[in-house]
Amino acid sequence: MDLTVRSSVRADTLLPSIRRELRALDASLPLGSITTAERRLAAQLSSRRFEMQALIGFAVLSLALAGAGLYAMLAFQVGLRTREIGVRTALGAAEPAIVGMFVGGGLRLACIGIAIGAAAAASAARLLQTFLYETAALDARSYLAAAAVILAVTSLAAWWPARRAARISPTIALTQVLE
């Protein structure tokens, strides 16, 4: 049997007087654990909270791995085109134009991936709806936030090697072309 008491007084100061009143009503009444609603709710939600924290941790880890993979792929692509970048620089291409070329390419790939992922998620929305509580499976804010994070990670992953390659001396690149 449960007893619920609502009060404007803090629960810690109220518990001794509740025990006293219950003993006065029936001294043989066994008193189990007396706790607050907040503690009871926290105990019930602790396993869910752990699961959500683990899920967030894995999501951040997967985002970091995806960013590292993008960086590696784009750094390799920049490395293959180092001579071209040197020739472009020697012919007068500015650093922002070279960086923009690689960042734009990376963002195009990310946009294709976002479109495919959004289409797959939208098609699986009916299945996802059964697992969600008071949340729509087609929540536009969540989709937009995910897309924004992916675009930001892609921009950073593409910008770093492109900026480094755009600073290559044209004489070094032209020497490599002639060899």
How far CA 169 is from CA of 85, 86, 173, in Å, comes to 10, 7, 7
Mean pLDDT across the chain, nearest whole number? 85
Which pLDDT score is estimated for 68? 92
Q: Identify which has the larger pLDDT, 77 or 176.
A: 77
Q: Are 22 and 29 in contact (CB under 8 A)?
A: yes
Query: pLDDT tens digit string along 35-65?
Result: 777 888 888 889 899 999 999 999 999 999 9
Q: Are 151 and 71 in contact (CB under 8 A)?
A: no
Query: pLDDT tens digit string along 113-151?
Result: 999 999 998 888 878 777 777 777 777 888 899 999 999
For residue 179, name the pLDDT band (cuts at 50, 70, 90): low
Question: In sequence order, what are the residues at sequence separation of 6 or more whose Cβ sits closer than 8 angstroms to the Cβ of residue 102?
Answer: 74, 77, 78, 158, 159, 161, 162, 165
CA angle 61-65-68, nearest 5°? 140
pTM listed for this prediction: 0.67
As a whole number of angstroms, the distance between CA 80 and CA 86 comes to: 12
Position 149, amino acid: V
Q: Are 158 and 102 in contact (CB under 8 A)?
A: yes
Q: Identify which has the larger pLDDT, 4 or 123.
A: 123
Mean pLDDT across the stretch 62-71? Answer: 90
Nearest to 149 by CA among 71, 86, 74, 63: 63
Which pLDDT score is estimated for 67? 87
Mean pLDDT: which of 32-36, 96-100, 137-141, 163-167 is highest?
96-100
What b/e readout covers 6-17, taking b as 16+ CB neighbours within 10 angstroms? eeeeeeeeeeee
% the chain with pLDDT above 90: 26
